[in-house]
Amino acid sequence: MASDFVLPGQPIPLPRGPVPQLGRGTYEKDSLVRASLVGVPHFEGSSLAISRVRPQPPTPNSIVLGHITRLSPVQALLSIAVVDGVPLPPGEEFTGVIRSQDVRATEKDKVKIGDCFRGGDVVRGIVISLGDARSYFVTTARNDLGVIFATSEAGSTMEPVSWQEMRCSKTGKIEKRKCAKPEGIP
């Protein structure tokens, strides 16, 4: 059995053989054993159970997901919702700061924050260091980091067309963003 965490309602991969006894955090529906909470499946004796995954505060090199809440000419503020693949509980959040020099690896002095992010964009980044009190410095200066989901000015989902542009699926209009390279594309 994989040690990857599961989400509520997600089927739990089982080893071949009879269905194990169901324990804490599991239930059966549509002939599948499913998780009832976020956690890691494991066996407690002969019972299959889910151990809760406790979210941890970001540390340097943590991969974070969040949405842009505020922009200034020199930085974007990110409301962090996921740390290293583990969602934070409702009401708990951390603030990330993406400085203009941390947006991309080259031509750092030419970065315009407004051409890279917009309010509400969902961004994948890596924590560089602890900033102040509850904020973290975050970078998007790798190909797989940047905007992963955006809504156009027309209110439609956008799709990446290059590392610095996204297209509105409704109008076809191009908008500038610092896009994360979609997963699974060489």
What is the chain's percent helix, strand, coil content, to nearest 5? Answer: 5, 45, 50
- Which residues, including other chains, have CB under 8 Å from residue 159's CB and lie 6 or more apart? 166, 167, 169
- Which residues, including other chains, have CB under 8 Å from residue 74's CB and lie 6 or more apart? 99, 100, 113
Judge whether 58 and 73 are in contact, CB under 8 Å.
Answer: no
Residue 149: predicted pLDDT: 94
Residue 62: predicted pLDDT: 93
Residue 174 to residue 138: CA distance in whole angstroms: 26
Amino acid at 152: S
Amino acid at 67: H
Q: Which domains does the chain have, with CATH numbers?
A: 1-53 (2.40.50.100), 63-176 (2.40.50.140)
Judge whether 178 and 146 are in contact, CB under 8 Å.
Answer: yes
Residue 45: predicted pLDDT: 82
pLDDT in tens, the chain (186 residues): 445 778 888 888 887 777 788 888 899 888 888 988 878 888 888 888 888 777 778 889 999 999 999 999 999 999 999 998 888 877 788 999 999 999 987 777 788 998 999 999 999 999 999 877 778 999 999 999 999 999 998 889 998 888 888 999 889 999 999 999 876 555
DSSP strand pairing (135-139 vs 158-162)? unpaired
At 181, list the tokens.
């390279």
CA distances, 119 to each of 3, 162, 186 (Å): 35, 20, 29
